[in-house]
Structure 1
Amino acid sequence: MAGAAVAALLEMVDYGLRPSLEIYNSIIHAYAGNGNFDDAMFFLKEMKEIGLEPETDTYDGLIKAYGQYKMYDEISTCLKMMESDGCPPDHFTYNLLIREFSHGGLLQKMERVHRIVISKQMNLQPNSLVAMVEAYANFGILDKMEKVYRKVANSISLKEDTVRKLAEVYIKNLMYSRLDDLGIDLSSRSGRDDLVWCLRLLSHACLLSRKGMDSVIREMDEAKASWNVTIANIILLAYLKMKDFKHLRSLLSQLQSHRVRPDITTIGILIDAIERGFDGSETLETWRKMGLLHRAVELKTDSLVLAAFGKGHFLRDCEAIYTSLEPEARDKKRWTYHILIDLVTRHKAKQ
């Protein structure tokens, strides 16, 4: 892109035409975006020498590129250059600064620019608020995260990664009811997808509210939403934690009718339940006859579920045994559920 813009510039010069600000901006932004800041500054200097005054858009492109390459000191230098050139930052520049400092985790700089925007009564763009939410979530700063999230909740659809970051902070702070609120907010803007059902069901499961779980399941039935292994495992984990073996057994027997294929988390739930006194021999035998235990190990459960409930004894034992093996031994095996169950059983027998 920079080459094409430079060619256009030279062609204009050959024809005796005065190059436009747009041409120079294209060249400067292209070079900066590719990390060629010396060339970008050369053309910035050249445009000034021919009497073209840079605009905020000229510097905004540089700031964005500096942020892309995590050159935050250069951003400060660029701001000083703007001021000296009589081109003070406008609300686009300040919003850009908030986003770049947010992405870099520079919370103090981000908050300082945010205060400037507020004091100058400038427009604060929704994507700048989202960037602030993500920055606070990354650092686990709950109160500030929630304060900014409330400002943006009704104005923009959050990306799934952002929603997950919020959920992780709520889980870490044991604020499980917020997961249901987050799921409802998300569904109002983007519809009821798998993540929505996961958040809402996980909220009630972590609170060990059978009534709440049943309510969400009814909503899923009414919406004709398909089950997946994440949904099944959330409910199973709640039953396991409540030591409700009656409902645990019932749901295990219904997995096939729900078209849910157990993963390593499901296997772990069953083995952990057996350790707590649950008679799971019939389920294990059924899965053996189905050929499930000889399938390659899969982890299909949403990571938020494991963050909320933990991995359980079986999964932790599997990880410990696996990491204790030599690299060649790990690579040679075709890891199946049967092999893992056998390894864990023999390991415990030795202990």
Structure 2
Amino acid sequence: MATQPLHTRICAASPPPIFLPRASASRRSWVPPLRRGPPNRKIIHGRSLNDRILGNKDYAALFKAVIVNEEPDIAFQLVNELKSKGFKPGCDVLSGLMLCYAKNGFFMQAQALWGEIINSSFEPRIEVIWDLMTAYAQMGQFDEITRIVHETTLRNFGFGPEVYSMAVSCFGKAGQLRLMEEAVKEMVSRGFKVNSVSGNAYVKYYSIYGSLEDMEAAYERLKKSRILIEKGAIRAMASAYINQRQFYKFGEFLRDVGLDRRNVGNLLWNLLLLSYAANFKMKSLQREFLGMLDAGFSPDISTFNIRALAYSRMSMFWDLHLSIQHMRYKRVIPDLVTYGCIVDAFLERRLARNISFELGKLNVEASPIMLTDPLVFEVFGKGDFHSSSEALLKSTRQRNWTYSKLLAIYLKKQYRRNQIFWNY
């Protein structure tokens, strides 16, 4: 039986090859290197090895590499080459090119590709819609986000609530509270239920960009919807109360949320302690700390450092000593803030010789770490030792820092600063 030539057999079964456009020297970073050894005849045939010819899978991989490098002109050339060879680009290819255009500011091209996708039989992935909304929000194209929401909802893809939820997050993150409010109202009018993600984002961004009255009204709406406020929204409301120095309202809000919630219990108790420590209400601080223990919650590093900062600022050395001892008993690892509380308290009263006595109970040869909740610094700020050490850790390339080394440098700086030099 006569055998058919290999070249003819492969050409009949394989798709038409794609000849990549020749790129300039600066654009060749995305070109896959040629394999060493014998050429793959399923990909390269009928041409010399110097010709770059790709099959379907290779094209998809190369297109993905171009999208990662965010080169829309090269990606567009590849799509045109694909169409000229009889290939029909799928939804993933069109979506990738659309995102590439949107992230680089080519909005008209991105809109045209979105129209091609939405008016065809393709169903865009929810991740693609989120990336497209995010790109538009970063560029201030909020009308395009609204258009995407409306067109996606009309097509009944099955993820209408998720699209509205993403729009609420995009508008809120950009500080567009009016658009966020309209998106929530439209979401409800279409019969979609406001989920926990949308409700908490609603409260969170009113806390960041709105007034206290707007924030509290948003929180009341969340409660009426029977949605639990989560950690992100709690932290945003806490920051708003702290910035306005409304610590009494802050405490009332925390009690209203419920101090017995196990998933955010430590956060709520720590913030309640912080509301008392901010005004140095030491008896109330101790009472609520004991209440936290009685409720079955275990204090963490932020709990101890909130108390330590208050004791340090009030120069209550015995209470500071007992708090450090309690921390050791609970096997809580101290961080840079803990060491700073001790150093700043003793130096403030010119008791530098006694620092080694208190620090001797801690491991001064450990590497510095930072574990304290950043909300604590919004109330107390950062101490001198903390700020000096943090700047030193960031400014030098030395990697083997210890608390003892940081303390030695800090004490030397303090000694030099306190000296008086007379110029004759």
TM surpasses 0.5: yes
Is residue 2:412 matched to residue 1:346? yes
In the alignment, is residue 229 of structure 1 matched against residue 301 of structure 2?
Answer: yes
Inter-CA distance 240–277: structure 2 relative to 1 (3 Å threshold): same
- Are positions 1:138 and 2:208 aligned together? yes
Task: Answer yes or no: is the 8 Å Cα contact 2:231–2:264 preserved in 1.
Answer: no
Pick aligned residue for 1:41 from 77, 96, 115: 115
Select the residue among 278, 299, 322 that pairs with 2:370. 299
Is the partner of 1:331 in helix, strand or coil?
coil
Q: Deviations over 1:73-123 (max 9, x none)?
A: 32344478689x899xxx9576664344223432232234456678x6966
Aligned to 2:168: 98
Match of 1:150 in 2: 220
Deviations along 1:223-282, one digit per CA (max 9) or x if unpaired, are 343232211111121122333333223323443223233211011111111122174755
Distance 2:142 2:91 in 1: 18
Matched, 1:244 2:244: no
Rounded Cα–Cα distance in structure 2 between residues aligned with 1:141 and 1:28: 43
Is 1:125 the counterpart of 2:191? The answer is no
Alignment partner of 2:341 out of 252, 261, 269: 269
Alpha-carbon separation, structure 2, partners of 1:256 and 1:62:
50
Q: Which one-letter code corresponds to 1:200 in the other structure?
A: L
| Aligned: 1:337 with 2:408 | no
Give the AA of the match of 1:285.
F
CA contact (8 A) 2:251 2:275 kept: yes
The C-alpha deviation readout for 1:108-141, integer Å capped at 9, x for no partner, is 32234456678x6966614433222222233363
**Alpha-carbon distance between aligned partners in 2 of 1:259 and 1:153, rounded to the nearest angstrom:** 38
Structure 1 residues 81 and 339: CA distance shift in structure 2, 3 A: closer
Number of aligned residue pairs: give it: 308
Q: Which deviations, in whole Å up to 9, do the C-alpha atoms of 1:302-330 show, x marking residues without a partner? A: 1111221110122123244556x5xxxx2
Pick which of 174-183 and 59-68 moved more: 59-68
Per-residue deviation, 1:350: 2.4
TM-score normalised by the chain length of structure 1: 0.71
> In the TM superposition, what whole-angstrom CA distance separates every residue of 1:187-237 from its partner, at most 9, and x where no partner exists?
455456321221121111112222322222222222343232211111121
Counterpart of 2:244, as a letter, is: N
Greater relative contact order (CA < 8 Å, ≥ 6 in sequence) = 1
Q: Does 1:219 align with 2:285?
A: no
The sequence identity of aligned pairs, in percent, is: 22
**Aligned pair partner of 2:243 in 172, 175, 179:** 172
Aligned counterpart, 2:143: 73
CA deviation after TM superposition for structure 1 residue 341, in Å: 1.0
- CA 1:159–1:281: 2 relative to 1, 3 Å: farther
Gaps of at least 5 residues in structure 1 are 4-26, 48-53
Return the TM-score normalized by structure 2.
Answer: 0.60
Partner of 1:107: 177
The amino acid that maps onto 2:194 is Q
| CA distance in 1 between partners of 2:362 and 2:217 (Å) | 51
Higher helix share: 1
